[in-house]
Amino acid sequence: MARRYDSKTTIFSPEGRLYQVEYAMEAIGHAGTCLGILANDGIVLAAERRNTNKLLDDVFLSDKIYKIDEDMACCVAGITSDANVLTNELRAIAQRHTLQFGEPIPCEQLVMRLCDIKQAYTQYGGKRPFGVSILYMGWDTRHGYQLYQSDPSGNYSGWKATCIGNSSAAAVSILKQEYKVSETDLHQALLLALKVMSKTLDMTKLNAEKLELATLVRNDNKTEINVISVEEVKELIKEHEQKEAEAEAAKQDKQSGSGKSSDK
Amino acid sequence: MLQCLPQVQVTDYYCCCCLIYCCFCCSCCSTPVLPLTSILCSLTSTHYTSIMSLECLIGVKFNNFVLMATDMSHLQSIMVQKSDDDKMLALSKNLVMAVSGEAGDTTQFAEYIAKNIQLYKMRNGYELPPAAAVHFTRHTLATHLRSREPYFVNLLMGGVDPDTNKTELFYMDYLAASIPVKYYAFGYGGMFTLSVMDKEYTPDMNEKEAYELLKKCVAEIKRRFIINLPKFRVRIISKEGIKDMPHIVGEGEAA
């Protein structure tokens, strides 16, 4: 019965749903995980890299994280070709704003503009929606560090930490437990990102080749967007594993220690 | 070969139809002369705009506030239509735009910019800083310049940036050239007052001293300019906002 309302994007089903939009979000649920964490002094974006073929030429440093403007970068999950079109549009929107107003576009305005475009594809034109969810990290003078997420329906929201793509629900629940609001600095955020990725990615051990990490910080009145190199990622993974081992050891001690006391 | 024509005197007419500056010096007696094409143009066209305006806009920037003064006469050929005209428009709480130029264009352009700036505020919940508003204005003016509908307006935009508390004053002319300035005066009145400001201006004046400076400028205009501009409206823009000051009524005597 619902099938009859599937083929066109621009009509509601009897239950009041837009099926094409929901199917687009389904498509994103199968894509590589991306997560973003807001720290006190910066923002972290982590992404799972799916194309790890040895034969791939590494022309771009990152195939999921894009720089949009001097103060903004984004990470995409979903159909890569759709993502290319959208990031192109994001860059054009940012420059058009600077052309008109002489200042960098504030983060929320950029997200809002793109989401208006995404929404248009759910209402008219007869074209399918974009199968891309985007995580934006940026800095502006008005609200400082910001993290936003947008999805194919054209909705967007600001987050302190969030995840999109494969196993995103699991990752978000881990973040809810582990993320400490306004107590996390950039380094802790990086380690937290690795922790969440290791728990949600379907592999036993974290591999630097399969991860992309990027940070955004403000130094000396300039924004620095840095895609972390493979060597540094390896260092971070080592540190993360060390911490995990220490935490494990501490837990063992506690258990054995409490066992001893109960003996008495 | 140019012929000497008796009725030609003023040297800076810009013919809007031929889009040329139409003044030459006659080769035999070196009096300024309008070429024949422009004479024909002036006989047939309805408007004929001079680069230099009979209206006067003055803006001066100090450390803590900006003073803007505009004359209050609205002129239509030889008649004073209105002597309490307001040539300044508040674009936001801390930014004022003074406009002069072709009648109609001034109001149209000023209101268009003002409403767009208000729209930005409504959409985003915060105001455009003055430098960005000036950039936007200049961009609009430049886009229209190279189209079929150029605006013939000269502007002074003065205000205080609410985030940095710095005062700003921008000159913008009808060719969409925009520069930050410490003080400027548009129009023929400017020719008489810029030198006064050159001599007397210091950036750390207080409000009373600044007002006296403006009074000196207006007195100079009253003394030396053929057109009578009896009253000037004065506004002060500080980080608290825009305030009206008493009108300056020219007290100078003829030279």
If pLDDT is split at 50, 70 and 90, which confidence band does A5 have?
Answer: low
| pLDDT tens for each residue of A125-162 | 788 899 999 999 999 999 999 999 999 999 999 999 99
Which of A96, A99, A103 to mutate against chain B (most B CBs within 10 Å)?
A103
Q: How many CB pairs under 8 A join A and B?
A: 23
CA atoms of B178 and B170, how far apart (whole Å): 7
Q: Which helix (H) or strand (E) holds A45?
A: strand A42-48
Specify the pLDDT at position B18. Answer: 42
- The more confident residue out of B11 and A40 is A40
Q: Mean pLDDT across chain A, nearest whole number?
A: 89
Residue of chain B whose alpha carbon sits nearest to that of A108: B124
Q: Which of residues 87-126 of B touch A (CB under 8 A)?
A: 124, 126
Q: What is the DSSP letter of A30?
A: T
Contacting residues of A for B134, CB less than 8 Å apart: 102
**A163 Rama sector, left if φ>0, alpha if ψ -120 to 50, beta otherwise:** beta
| Range name among A227-231, A244-248, B11-15 with the lowest pLDDT average | B11-15
| pLDDT tens for each residue of B198-217 | 999 999 999 999 999 999 99
Region A198-207: mean pLDDT is 80
Q: Are A170 and A33 in contact (CB under 8 A)?
A: no
Which of B91, B120, B124 to mutate against chain A (most A CBs within 10 Å)?
B124
Specify the pLDDT at position B51. Answer: 72
Region A82-88: mean pLDDT is 95
Specify the pLDDT at position B17. Answer: 43
Region A186-197: mean pLDDT is 93
Specify the pLDDT at position A13. Answer: 87
- Identify the sign of the CA torsion A100, B127, B141, B59: negative
Those residues of chain B that have pLDDT short of 50 are: 1-11, 13, 15-48
Nearest alpha carbon to residue B62 among B176, B189, B191, B212: B212
- Contact of B141 with chain A, judged by CB distance below 8 Å, is answered with no
Instruction: Give pTM, 2 decimals.
Output: 0.79
Q: Which helix (H) or strand (E) holds A67?
A: strand A65-69
Which of B91, B112, B139, B168 to mutate against chain A (most A CBs within 10 Å)?
B139
DSSP state letters, B51-92: SS-SS-EEEEE-SSEEEEEEE--EEETTEEEESS---EEEEE
Q: Nearest by CB to A100, from B129, B131, B136: name it.
A: B136
- Contact of B128 with chain A, judged by CB distance below 8 Å, is answered with yes
**In angstroms, what is the C-alpha Rg of chain B?**
19
- The more confident residue out of A186 and B49 is A186
Contact B124 A106 (CB under 8 A): yes
- Contact of B129 with chain A, judged by CB distance below 8 Å, is answered with yes
